[in-house]
Amino acid sequence: MLLVGTTFITHMAAAQGTAPAAPGAARPAGAAPALTLAPAAKGTGRISGTVLDATTRQPVEFATITVLPPVGEQPLDGTVADEKGRFTLKGLAAGSYRLSISFIGYGSQVQAISLQEGKMSLDLGTVALTSQAKQLNEVTVTGERPVVESKPDRLVYNAAQDNTNKGGTAADVLRKAPMVSVDPDGNLQLRGSGNVRVLINGKPSSVMAGDIAEALKQLPADQIKNVEVITSPSAKYDAEGSAGIINIVLKENNLQGINGNVGLAVGTRNSNGNLALNARKGKLGLSSSANGWMHYSPGVQEVDREDRDVVSADGITTTGRLLQRNEGRAQGGGGNARIGLEYEPATNHSFSLSLNGNMFQHRNNADIYNTYTLDAGEPDNSNPLFGNYTRDFDQKFQIRSYDLTGTYTRTFGPSSRREWSVLAQHNRNNNNRYYNVDQFPLDYAGTTPTFEEYSPNIASNQENTLQTDYVHPIGEKQTVEFGGKLIQRRVESDFRVSRTDLNTGEFAEVPSLTNKYTYDQDVMAGYATYATSLGKKYNVRLGARVERTDLEGDFENQDSPFSLTFTNLLPNVALTRNLKQQGSTIRLSYSRRIQRPSIFYLNPYRNETDPRNISEGNPELDAEFTDNYEVNWNTFVKGSVINISAYSRQTNNAIERIYRTDNQGRVVSTFGNVARNQTYGTNLFGSVKPLPKWDISGNVSLFYVYLNSKALNTSNSGFVYSANINSGYKFEKGFSLQFFGMLNSPRIQLQGKTRPGRCTPLACVRKC
């Protein structure tokens, strides 16, 4: 059940037109229909310009530009503006014309123009379109993006258009994104791989530096504008994320004047509230937002496990059976605050400074009822900690993080594609975990615990980034990009375990489970890309990125420091062919990517909350490397978008979760570079509009996974599938109904498989 309320406050605002699919893919929903052009004389004339929103001064993406004769409405030529509002028309003969510029939700603008011999090039500079929405005491939206868009190099899920996201978290949003799956435990995968680079607004974030499953709980769905799924990133992007990149774009407001909103959502599992206040006047803009949320999820987990080669108390090797019931009560909450400043001191120069802070706390109280019997049926008395018992445990996570980011961007004219930018960022994530355990006999006989354990883990991850990028066009058909990046990461993990001594009954620290781990990682990178058009049918993008990695690690209580340096060349190539049918393309691409282990994988902290199921990280992990091959076909048919892709992915030195058992029937899970993985798959995405007010989109993914580990002498394989459907209908008077359905099969792991998942939320919303 979900109750949603939102209030908009505006002093001066304007509704903005919205942009659907990218040029060369599907015709945008807000753009004009395909033009039927009258025969026209060809020449050397050229017209260019940039289309902006008159109020926000933001680009009007995919605006329609039409060349008309001085008299009459039969188009002579036309084009569509790119994502930055820029357009160019070429091959025009000398003469007089009318130029019409339009987009849904805006008033059209028609200009009389003239091309003369000796003056055949005309730069219109900035063309401003005015919104048609009336502004009194409300905001009226006259155009909306589709829920899912197909663009030339990515699929975009417009979360802000999906009402079933109200009151949820980022995990709920990502479950609906094409090619993405999130299992019931919150683990994220892209086309079957968990090695994904997650960005916030195109930049790394401290929130995503640790356990991504926990991080996704911190980000309310109401803050997310869209999610970009990029499976073949160019060399401009960091090479981390062997499966690709997921870029979460947050909502922002660029309206002139003072405006804001307040929202509240209450549900049976999640509740959140948010507010935003923004001000913009001329060259200066200030934005701020804050939100808070709570989540609560009781649950029961049962385990029935058979262990081989268990040694009994009398030294006999036998088989053990574990029956366990975990009754948990998880709850948590947190908050987030952002403040940003934008300043444009002069034309073509812009600065931005933003500060983002997050706090999150999650608590899990549970009772574990444990019975362990040996093959003959007698209880296992080899160790009183691991036999028949009841455990009450209290586990707490505390996360405090912040990001400070500054940028400078220099452009070189309203219609120029030349651009230089600089970014500097500092972020820090403090991730502290605690657990407290009291153990009793299985029947709770007595009130005094027979065993107690307490463990704190104080961990931090600090990252500093300096980056510069330069884009230089060569004529109209070629573009060169190059840049460099420096990343400095500093990681610490201080972990301690204290427990009751079974002989003396005293509480004491356990030296073998107490230590402090430090880890430094420095990455220096440089890249270059070259893109060109070969006639009207082909586009080529070539790129290469060189990354040098320096690693150092050490334990405080061990004399075993280590260091490692490696340099890698990571090529990238994409070939796109425009097919005969308008909006249809086919793209072939190859990329080589790297996945460096994060603190979540490296942290040697040993969690023994459940002594039969223990987890720990591996500080000796190396990077893994993946070769990606992909063919992608995209078309637009009568208002419907269809995107089909087939891919092959091979990962060497793959990081896999591995499980091992000891002779006391305990399972210890950790991570290791133990496998060579191969994945072959296909993905189908489609969207259709059966009625003007009814949208349907769906995604089906099927792939075959083969995992092989010579180190563990084991392999596993199988087919994996996921499917989702999203449907929305808009009624009169602002009412809308949204449905989402998701089904994920179990995920193949080296030593088993995960649980399947399904989800079917329904939302009814009225916009006021």
Q: Give the C-alpha separation, 542 to 482, whole Å.
A: 12
Instruction: Give tens-digit pLDDT for 94-119.
Output: 788 889 898 866 778 888 888 877 77
**Number of domains making up the chain:** 2
**Looking at the structure, do residues 472 and 614 belong to the same domain, yes or no?**
yes
Residue 428 inside a domain? The answer is: yes
Q: Of all residues in the chain, what percent carry a pLDDT higher than 90?
A: 18
pLDDT score at 300: 81
**Looking at the structure, do residues 39 and 181 belong to the same domain, yes or no?**
no
Residue 14 inside a domain? The answer is: yes
Q: Indicate whether 182 pLDDT > 80.
A: no
Q: What is the mean pLDDT of residues 688-711?
A: 85
**Looking at the structure, do residues 494 and 417 belong to the same domain, yes or no?**
yes
**Looking at the structure, do residues 64 and 211 belong to the same domain, yes or no?**
no
Residue 144 inside a domain? The answer is: no
Structural domain boundaries, residue 690: 150-766
Residue 105 inside a domain? The answer is: yes
Q: Indicate whether 398 pLDDT > 70.
A: yes
pLDDT score at 385: 59
Residue 249 inside a domain? The answer is: yes
**Looking at the structure, do residues 59 and 179 belong to the same domain, yes or no?**
no
- CATH number at 254 reads 2.40.170.20
At residue 650, what are phi and psi to the nearest 5 degrees?
-125, 125
Domain boundary, last residue among 81, 98, 129 = 129
In 475-596, DSSP assigns E strands to 478-495, 498-500, 507-509, 515-534, 538-555, 562-578, 585-595
**Looking at the structure, do residues 601 and 633 belong to the same domain, yes or no?**
yes
- Under 8 Å between Cβ of 632 and 644: yes
**What pLDDT band is residue 14 in, cutting at 50, 70 and 90?**
very low
Q: Give the C-alpha separation, 193 to 684, whole Å.
A: 18
For the chain, give the mean pLDDT.
80
Burial degree of 515 (CB within 10 A; 0-12, 13-18, 19+):
middle
**Looking at the structure, do residues 186 and 118 belong to the same domain, yes or no?**
no
**Looking at the structure, do residues 487 and 539 belong to the same domain, yes or no?**
yes
pLDDT score at 479: 92
**Looking at the structure, do residues 694 and 569 belong to the same domain, yes or no?**
yes
Residue 441 to residues 502, 612, 665, 727, Cα–Cα distance (Å): 14, 16, 19, 52
Residue 362 inside a domain? The answer is: yes
**What pLDDT band is residue 383 in, cutting at 50, 70 and 90?**
low
State CA 356 to chain mean position distance: 18
pLDDT score at 760: 62
Residue 200 inside a domain? The answer is: yes
**Looking at the structure, do residues 102 and 15 belong to the same domain, yes or no?**
yes
Instruction: Give tens-digit pLDDT for 482-493.
Output: 999 999 999 998
- CATH number at 87 reads 2.60.40.10
Residue matched to tokens 């009398």: 314
**Looking at the structure, do residues 403 and 474 belong to the same domain, yes or no?**
yes
587, 607, 92, 702: which is closest to 364 by C-alpha?
Answer: 607
300, two tokens: 């029961």
Tell me which DSSP letter residue 239 carries.
S
Q: Indicate whether 380 pLDDT > 80.
A: no
Domain boundary, last residue among 129, 159, 180 = 129
pLDDT score at 446: 62
Q: Give the C-alpha separation, 363 to 368, whole Å.
A: 16
Of 151-160, 461-470, 758-767, the range with the highest mean pLDDT is 461-470
Residue 487 inside a domain? The answer is: yes
**Looking at the structure, do residues 203 and 93 belong to the same domain, yes or no?**
no
Q: Of all residues in the chain, what percent carry a pLDDT higher than 70?
A: 82
15, two tokens: 């509704």
Q: Give the C-alpha separation, 201 to 156, whole Å.
A: 13
